[in-house]
Amino acid sequence: MFKQLFAVSWMSLSTLPQRLGSSSVIVIGIAGVVAVLVSVLAMATGFRHTVADSGRPDRVIVLRGGSDAELNSNLTREEIDIIGNAPGLAKDAAGKALLSDELLTVVNVPKIATGSDSNITLRGVGLQLLKVRPELTIVEGRMFRPAVRELIAGAGAAKQFRGLKVGSVLHLRNAEWTVTGVFSTDGDIHESELLADVDTVGSAIGRSTGYSSAVGLLTGADAFDRFKDALTTDPQLKVDVEREPEYYAAQSKQLTHFINIVGNTVALIMAIGAMFGALNTMYTAVDARGLEIATLRAIGFGAAPILLSVMIEALALSFLGGVLGGTLAWLFFNGHSVSTLGGAFAQVVFKLTVTRTLLIEGVLWACAIGVLGGLFPALRAARLPVAQALRAA
């Protein structure tokens, strides 16, 4: 049985070059499906990596209760001070809590590629910034100074938006701000932002009394409950406390979900189309080999090896298509930097990320199309009435 299977499969695969034209229909059809699937899902993956992987479990974000997002939130100086005294926060050598009082606004900056105005987050940050976010490094230029109109730009934002190079001057609300540096935060969402001193931002946008959020570093991830309980039971406060990863995962959920649905739907529809192509090709292949198959049957080959050999041919071709499509998507799109409007009215810069899981998923889709497209032609081959087929030749 296996000997027969091997012999028949080898025979059909070795004659593939003679059917190059029609066989390539399967390969190219499926490559198209997989390339589209992998590229679109790479977008969702990249966005999720950038947004949902922002932050660390021992860092918390405090918002006014019911605000959902930083941009909507509003905290007073007094509230920030109460938060700073809560138990569980890490302290620096001088005994000051590692808490950054932050103020968010979005500013209009033109996108390099299109020249059209885009909303960029300008985040005012407190003096403890570097201790609260130790992953932040200046990759070019220098840090901004407090109390003067200076800002630093995230590496992602600097690449996508105009006028964010070190030394450029940005006109923001009737005043000139100098970009003194470009920073990196290991590719998370903050690389799409501009950072400056919180009080300078506050006075510039005329909101010197309020803040958006407070971001604090805990003594450890397990200090979260203590910190949260202290704040939520305080009658003077009405705040929401979340670990950063949870906050950012919630922020990215909607868009990631949406892209995934779109990607899978389009790929499914394309896959049905490709399956019809595969059916066509395999029926043609079976027809072309009618005499050969009938002869094999006549000299004692079983129906099963014939059936399997057709399936193997379909699978081999679709596997090839899957690999080709995945490779194309990887070559053209992996690392491709794009930006879109994220959850909070502001641009998020992220890179399309073709992961190994995505490639495997693509190849699995390809094989599924191959199996479905090969099954019926294989059945026909196996059921071929031998005498009739021999006579027809």
The answer to the question of residue 232 lying near another protein (CB under 8 A) is no
Site for another protein in 340-359 (CB under 8 A): 340-341, 345, 347
- The smaller minimum CB distance to another protein, of residues 279 and 382, is found at 279
- Looking up tokens 């300008």, which residue turns up? 122
User: Distances from the Cα of 170 to the Cαs of 109, 123, 154, 162, 339, in angstroms?
Assistant: 9, 15, 15, 10, 20
HSE-CB for 104 with a 13 A CA cutoff: 21
The answer to the question of residue 276 lying near another protein (CB under 8 A) is yes
Q: Which two tokens stand for residue 54?
A: 């922002």
Q: Kindly indicate which of the ranges 31-39, 94-102, 128-136, 385-393 contains the residues binding another protein, using the contact rule CB under 8 A.
A: 31-39
Q: Kindly indicate which of the ranges 26-34, 52-60, 84-92, 141-149 contains the residues binding another protein, using the contact rule CB under 8 A.
A: 26-34
Candidates 238, 360, 383, 388: give the one binding another protein (CB under 8 A): 238
CA distance 204 to 146: 13
DSSP-derived 3-state class of residue 330: helix
The answer to the question of residue 331 lying near another protein (CB under 8 A) is no
Q: Kindly calculate the radius of gyration of the chain based on its CA atoms and give it in whole angstroms.
A: 30
Site for another protein in 70-89 (CB under 8 A): 71-72, 74
Taking the chain, what is the end-to-end CA distance rounded to the nearest angstrom?
Answer: 27
CA distance 393 to 294: 10
Q: Which two tokens stand for residue 209?
A: 């009394």
The answer to the question of residue 172 lying near another protein (CB under 8 A) is yes
Q: What angle do CA 173, 178, 179 make, to 5 degrees?
A: 115
- The smaller minimum CB distance to another protein, of residues 182 and 274, is found at 274
What is the rounded (10 degree) CA torsion for 229, 230, 233, 234? -160
- The smaller minimum CB distance to another protein, of residues 58 and 240, is found at 240
Q: Which two tokens stand for residue 290?
A: 């009618």
Candidates 5, 52, 61, 69: give the one binding another protein (CB under 8 A): 69
Candidates 112, 127, 205, 372: give the one binding another protein (CB under 8 A): 205
How far is Cα of residue 104 from the mean position of the Cα atoms in its chain? 25
The answer to the question of residue 18 lying near another protein (CB under 8 A) is no
The answer to the question of residue 21 lying near another protein (CB under 8 A) is yes
Candidates 4, 57, 68, 138: give the one binding another protein (CB under 8 A): 68
- The smaller minimum CB distance to another protein, of residues 12 and 339, is found at 339
The answer to the question of residue 303 lying near another protein (CB under 8 A) is no
The answer to the question of residue 315 lying near another protein (CB under 8 A) is no
Least Å distance, CB 210 to another protein, is 7
Least Å distance, CB 48 to another protein, is 16
The answer to the question of residue 157 lying near another protein (CB under 8 A) is no
Backbone angles phi, psi at 359, to 5 degrees: -65, -45
Fill in the amino acid letter for 127.
L
Q: Kindly indicate which of the ranges 4-12, 94-102, 107-115, 189-197 contains the residues binding another protein, using the contact rule CB under 8 A.
A: 107-115
The answer to the question of residue 335 lying near another protein (CB under 8 A) is no
Q: Contact, 134 vs 127, CB < 8 A? A: no
- The smaller minimum CB distance to another protein, of residues 103 and 223, is found at 103
CA distance 344 to 69: 7
Candidates 5, 8, 12, 32: give the one binding another protein (CB under 8 A): 32
What are residue 151's DSSP bridge partners?
179, 196
CA distance 367 to 369: 5
DSSP string, 198-219: HHHHHHHTT-TTEESEEEEEBS
- The smaller minimum CB distance to another protein, of residues 122 and 132, is found at 122
The answer to the question of residue 13 lying near another protein (CB under 8 A) is no
The answer to the question of residue 206 lying near another protein (CB under 8 A) is yes
CA distance 8 to 5: 5
| Residues forming the site for another protein (CB under 8 A) | 21-22, 24-25, 28-29, 31-33, 35-36, 39-40, 43, 64-69, 71-72, 74, 105-108, 114, 116-119, 122, 172-174, 205-206, 210, 238, 258, 261-262, 266, 269-270, 272-274, 276-277, 279-280, 283-284, 338-341, 345, 347
